[in-house]
Structure 1
């Protein structure tokens, strides 16, 4: 859900930001600025796919 909130074609957060940004800021600049964060989300998803125990560790500790 986080990726869809930040990435095109939907990206409601980018359109909200465009509404409050100064007139000189384009939607393309906003999308380019969000790319590092999307990259981190992709890396985190890949890590969870490769090593699912990362995401299952805390629930395992809490429900022992």
Structure 2
């Protein structure tokens, strides 16, 4: 949320906030997919700690 307004502040004046929101859609979808994968397969999140800590 706040990072988008920061991006608008540092972007050139011709860039509209709608363009910034449209630009983040792929990243939000990837994050949602990652959360769904971890919910369905919790082993994905637990593999590394189990491997490192035994």
TM over 0.5: yes
Tell me which interval the TM-score lies in, with the shorter structure as reference length.
over 0.9
Pick the structure with more helix per residue.
2
For residues 26 and 14 of structure 2, what CA distance do their matches in structure 1 show? 22
Considering only CA atoms, is the larger Rg found in Structure 1 or Structure 2?
2
What residue ranges of structure 1 are gaps of 5+ in the alignment?
1-10
**Superposition CA RMSD, Å:** 0.5
The answer for the alignment partner of 2:44 in structure 1 is 54
Q: Name which structure has the greater RCO, CA cutoff 8 Å, separation 6+.
A: 1
Matching of residues 10-25 of structure 1 within 5 Å: 11-25=1-15
Query: TM-score, normalized by length of structure 1?
Result: 0.82
Q: 2:32 aligns with which of 42, 48, 52?
A: 42
Number of aligned residue pairs? 54
